[in-house]
Homo-oligomer: A and B are copies of this chain.
């Protein structure tokens, strides 16, 4: 049976996502991957390199899910809202209610500049993906075209960060969740 690199990376990503960079030890990762240190270092290089690849794996997954949401919905805007709901409501199964990129940017310091910059870069990619969906909505007259879509995307991203952080801090506030999502979504639509 061949070694499944993708699956191993998936396990590592979930662990890093749940516990963060510093609190996740290589020994825990070895256990989750069912691999011995030598193999891991041969495949991924180092803990930092592995984390970087985990970030990229996570970001690629997120963008794919956004694209899937848009495709499965009737309109770009509906797809966007579906994505937001999916992300915020489905946080029970996820390793963390928060975005792994935001968590990483929150945790990392100048001691790991490369990782910090990579996380920022990938998060900017997400913002651009949002902007593209919003531009689509504008092209289809679903959204007023007199506001810069990148500005809307920025506002949306900020709101989404706040939403997911709030859920993390107040996990029992699931009741208010749908209304909060609506507030966020409507708030930024009418901006």
Where the two chains meet, the residues of A that have a C-beta atom closer than 8 Å to any C-beta of B are 18-20, 22-23, 98, 101-103, 105-107, 109, 111, 120, 123-124, 151, 154-155, 157-163, 165-166, 168-170, 173, 176, 180, 183, 187, 191
In whole Å, how far is A184's beta carbon from the nearest beta carbon of chain B? Answer: 8
Residues of chain B contacted by A157 (CB below 8 angstroms)? 166
Given contacts A19-B109, A23-B109, A183-B191, contact A120 B158 (CB under 8 A): no
Q: How many copies does the complex hold?
A: 2
A124 to B169, CA, bound (A): 9
Q: Is the interface of A mostly helix, strand, loop or mixed?
A: helix
A162 to B102, CA, bound (A): 10
Q: Can you give 5 A-B contacts (C-beta < 8 A)?
A: A105-B165, A154-B173, A154-B180, A162-B163, A187-B187
Given contacts A109-B23, A154-B176, A155-B183, contact A102 B161 (CB under 8 A): no
A102 touches B169 (CB 8 A): yes
List 9 additional A-B contacts (Cβ < 8 Å) besides A162-B163, A187-B187.
A98-B106, A102-B165, A105-B169, A106-B106, A106-B165, A158-B165, A160-B162, A161-B162, A183-B191
